[in-house]
Amino acid sequence: MSAAQFIGRVGGIAAALGVGVAILSGPAVAGAETDGSNNSSRASASSSRSDSANSSRSDSAAPTRRGMSAARAEASTRGRVTREVTESVPEAPPVSDAAASAPPEALATPAVSAVPAPAAATLTLPAPSAALPAPSATVAAPSAAAPVAPVAVPTFSPVPPSPTATTVTPYGVLGDWMINKEGEVADWVGQPYCGEGSTKKTCTPETPGAKTMQEPINTVFQVKARSLYEAQLQLNWSLVVSGFGPSPFSSIGYSGIVGDKQFKQAPKGGPLGLGFLLPLPGELFQNGLTGSLLGIGPAYRDNLFLLTNSHLRTFGGQSDGKGNFIFTASVSEEAFDASTGLPSHSFESYDQARQKLVTNMTKASWISFASNQGLIEMDNAINPDNPEYTTGDHDGKAQVIAIGSLFGSSPVRTWF
């Protein structure tokens, strides 16, 4: 066979194939047009599948593909709303030529080949550059909360303070308390103290809240003198001219510690215990008749004993080695009380009496030669919460009063 004849036969076969495909495709196009008028959604889906199939065929099927595109465009125009919905459907996989040439009824429920599942992605993490440190085997225990300190509750001694207790001061070692004749801390002749809230500050032991009164040292005298006896005369004089002369009808027999010695009280009793005599050397006739028999004698007092008054007793003196003699005293304010059936004195105040004494003595300084030296700490105030013992309004301090030389003068004293 010649070359021209071979080429002509091949061209004829190609033409025949093109005509056959067109004939086979005609019913499908017609069916698509008819079905698109009745069911636009099915035609749209069929057109999408046909378009995908046609895209995989060779260029020799181009006339048929153009015909199908025209039909799909016409169906799309008639069913715009349906197309807008179906356009969001993913494109179906390509179908075979047999499926493309099948009647519309066969295309209504096309068999979709299973799409192979994508291979699982494998994420490979890089190995850490360095090993992480192992956690510590020992875990620190949480620190315990700081314990709350309990509120300190003061405890109080069931026994009174020691009568021989002393305090070191700039004026030497001084006793803290006035000591009674029984050798105990003076307790206001056994009269209990009922406190500031009661109508009278002393009461009976049966009164609820009654406490035992303790009598503290709250005054110090520094007397300039050449001898103990001269110092006693000068102190006696200064008290008399300041309005605190000896007066009778007080309990006696008290003493106090100054330095290394325990001194008996002044003033002394004198004849009949009235205390109008000067201090005598050797304490000759000092107790008096009433003091010896009844235990009643004088005290330094600023008013008649039947009235409210401030009174004191002095103890000393002890030389300080500098030409001075040191005396101490317990001064307090009292009121006459006959509520218990027997006349007695009830406690009023320590601090008010101490202030009145220094005020009177310094006011008369032109003749008493007295001057105020301020307060020193004695630390002899009892805690007010103590249920058994008290020092009333005492603040634990002592007033210091200095007295200049008075040698050669004589004290003057009335009966009261």
Q: How far is CA 312 from CA 110, 270, 331, in A?
A: 132, 17, 4
* Measured distance CA(242)–CA(263) in Å, rounded: 24
- Whether cis (ω within 30° of 0) applies to the bond prior to 267 is yes
Token output for 26: 């005609």
Give me the pLDDT at residue 7, please: 45
pLDDT at 141: 56
More confident residue, 271 or 31: 271
Alpha-carbon distances, residue 364 vs 47, 299, 338, 411 (angstroms): 137, 20, 34, 14
Rounded distance between C-alpha atoms, residue 88 and residue 93, angstroms: 15
Nearest to 234 by CA among 150, 354, 324, 295: 324
- Location of structure tokens 């919460």: 385
pLDDT band at 360 (very low <50, low <70, confident <90, very high): very high
What's the rounded Cα separation, in Å, for the pair 183 and 164? 9
Q: What is the pLDDT of residue 114?
A: 47
Q: What is the DSSP letter of 335?
A: E
Question: What backbone phi and psi angles, to 5 degrees, belong to 71?
Answer: -65, -40
Q: Which of 273, 399, 393, 261 is nearest to 333 (CA)?
A: 393
* Segments in 39-94 forming alpha helices (H): 40-56, 62-78, 80-86
Per DSSP (E only), the strands in 287-392 are 296-301, 309-319, 324-337, 344-349, 370-377, 389-390
User: Does residue 99 carry a pLDDT above 60?
Assistant: no
- pLDDT confidence band for 394 (50 / 70 / 90): very high
Q: Tell me the domain boundaries of the chain.
A: 3-107, 166-403
